[in-house]
Amino acid sequence: MALACAGAVAQARPQGDAVLPTVTVTAAPHDSVEKSYRKMVKGMDLFEKLHALAPAASLRFKLLPRKHDTDMKGIVLEVLGDSVDIPVPVAPDGTFTLERNAQALAEDAVVTPNRKSRSMTWRTEIRTPGLPPDTRRLGDLRLECEVGLEAGLVSNNATLIGRIADTLSDVLGYCQRKDARYLFFAERPLFAVRLVAGARREVLAIDKLYASASDDPGLQQDLPYCDCEVLVDRTYFMPLGDRSWPDDTRVEFEYMEDDAAQAGTGPGAQ
């Protein structure tokens, strides 16, 4: 099913390096969301190896809501092991970076926020600076897919759909496939997505948006097993393995609110 696939988020990072204050806690909640520090560091290693896909970009990780009632403010994030306890500052947009720590690696530490299981999901945030508003770069998104899978950032529970999603990170070369079903997220609910490379322009088909909901009559049943659960109207697939689209291809977004505003100013508007 289409909703089995998780992807990378595409949300704007605010200007500056302001971060929320962090407080060190001694233990994570029993049912907290957490990820493997070792896997996330492996993702950082892969980012350096494949940096040519986005040579001007840097790597950040990102926390996103998975439930309507998830509080995304004041998140306390830590790297926790048997003896290590490293606070991780989280920026107002939910992004953060990890420092390399040999002891945390040796202890197989976890990266854990003070939020319950399945309340949030995790993504990579790789952005080339200087792009126009409401655009992304295809090479950045290709690298987000590679690093996200290597870092183990797919967040689904242990259902059949979740197990299918979890196998993505074990599939060699998945992000180079023409049929890769890796979900990305726009900043706001989407109306349309365009690819632009020189004179070539192409609007994504509707089945590349909304986690292919138009092809899934069981959408409501699937949503609890997808980490796009509350962000499905922001989701889109990219032709990651189609090398006829170069890495510098521009991905342009039109949002529902923009389309509604244009409709309100047309000849038939009251």
191-220 pLDDT per residue, tens:
999 999 999 999 999 999 988 766 655 555
What is the model's pLDDT at position 112?
Answer: 94
What are 228-250's pLDDT values in tens digits?
A: 777 889 999 999 999 999 999 99
What is the model's pLDDT at position 157?
Answer: 42
pTM (2 d.p.):
0.79
Question: Residue 163: pLDDT band by 50, 70, 90 thresholds?
Answer: very low
Rounded to an integer, what distance in angstroms lies between the CA atom of residue 65 and that of residue 120? 4
Average pLDDT, the chain: 80
User: Is 133 exposed, middle or buried, given 0-12, 13-18 or 19+ CB atoms closer than 10 A?
Assistant: exposed
Please provide the DSSP assignment of 144-204 as one string: HHHHHHHTT-----SSHHHHHHHGGGGSTTGGG-TT----EE-SS-EEEEEEEETTEEEEP
What is the model's pLDDT at position 162?
Answer: 44
What is the model's pLDDT at position 228?
Answer: 75
What is the model's pLDDT at position 179?
Answer: 81
Among 90, 62, 95, which residue's Cα sits nearest to residue 75? 90
DSSP element (H, E) containing 101 = none
Lowest mean pLDDT among 13-22, 94-103, 168-177, 245-254: 13-22
What is the model's pLDDT at position 121?
Answer: 87
What are 28-53's pLDDT values in tens digits?
A: 344 458 999 999 999 999 999 999 99
What are 52-62's pLDDT values in tens digits?
A: 999 999 999 99
Length of the chain: 270
SS3 248: coil
SS3 215: helix
What are 83-105's pLDDT values in tens digits?
A: 999 999 999 999 999 999 999 99
Contacts made by residues 148-151, CB under 8 angstroms, sequence distance 24+: 148/7, 148/8, 148/43, 148/123, 148/124, 148/182, 149/174, 149/175, 149/182, 150/39, 150/42, 150/43, 150/46, 151/35, 151/39, 151/40, 151/42, 151/43, 151/44, 151/46, 151/61, 151/122, 151/124
- Is a pLDDT exceeding 60 seen at residue 17? no
What are 112-142's pLDDT values in tens digits?
A: 999 887 778 899 999 999 999 999 999 999 9
